[in-house]
Amino acid sequence: MNQKNSAVFDQYISSTAAQQKLYKRTLIIVLMSQIFGGAGLAAGITVGALLAKDMLGTESFAGLPSALFTLGSALAAFIVGRLSQRLGRRYGLSFGFIAGGIGAIGVIFAANINSVALLFIALFIYGAGTSTNLQARYAGTDLANEKQRATATSIAMVATTFGAVAGPNLVTPMGKVATAFGMPALTGPFMLAAVAYILAGLTLFIYLRPDPLLVAKAIAEQQEQQQMKITKTVNIVQHKVNRIGIFVGALVLVLSHVIMVAIMTMTPIHMQGHGSSLSAIGMVIGLHVAAMYLPSLGTGLLVDKVGRTFVVIASGITLALAGLLAAFAPGDSLLWLTIALMLLGLGWNFGLISGTAIIIDSTTIHNRAKTQGSVDVWVALGGSAGSLLSGVVVAYSSYAYLGFIGTYLALLLVPVVIWARMKQKNKIASASS
Q: Are 284 and 335 contacting, i.e. CB atoms less than 8 angstroms apart?
A: no
Confidence (pLDDT) at 95:
96
Residue 232 has pLDDT above 70, yes or no: no
Report residue 44's pLDDT band, with 50, 70 and 90 as the boundaries.
low
In the predicted model, what is the mean pLDDT of the chain? 84
Q: How far apart are CA 216 and CA 220, in angstroms?
A: 6
3-state secondary structure of 90: helix
Report residue 358's pLDDT band, with 50, 70 and 90 as the boundaries.
very high
Between 385 and 315, whose confidence is greater?
315
Averaged pLDDT, 227-247 = 65
With a CB cutoff of 8 Å and minimum separation 6, the contacts of 133 are: 34, 37, 38, 40, 41, 97, 160, 200
Report residue 239's pLDDT band, with 50, 70 and 90 as the boundaries.
very low
Residue 409 has pLDDT above 90, yes or no: yes
Q: What is the dihedral of CA 385, 106, 198, 61, to 10 degrees?
A: -20
Containing structural domain, residue 184: 3-432
Averaged pLDDT, 375-383 = 87
Residue 163 has pLDDT above 80, yes or no: no
3-state secondary structure of 147: coil
254-301, pLDDT tens digit by residue? Answer: 999 999 999 998 888 888 888 778 788 878 887 898 898 888 889 998
CATH number, position 194: 1.20.1250.20
Confidence (pLDDT) at 5:
58
Averaged pLDDT, 114-131 = 88
* Domain count of the fold of the chain: 1
Q: How far apart are CA 421 and CA 252, in angstroms?
A: 14
State the amino acid at position 90 in one-letter form. R
Confidence (pLDDT) at 12:
80
What does R_g of the chain's alpha carbons equal in angstroms?
22
Q: What is the dihedral of CA 291, 75, 220, 143, to 10 degrees?
A: -20
Confidence (pLDDT) at 183:
92
Confidence (pLDDT) at 116:
84
Averaged pLDDT, 313-319 = 96
Between 424 and 210, whose confidence is greater?
210
pTM above 0.75, yes or no: yes
Confidence (pLDDT) at 236:
46
Averaged pLDDT, 61-73 = 73
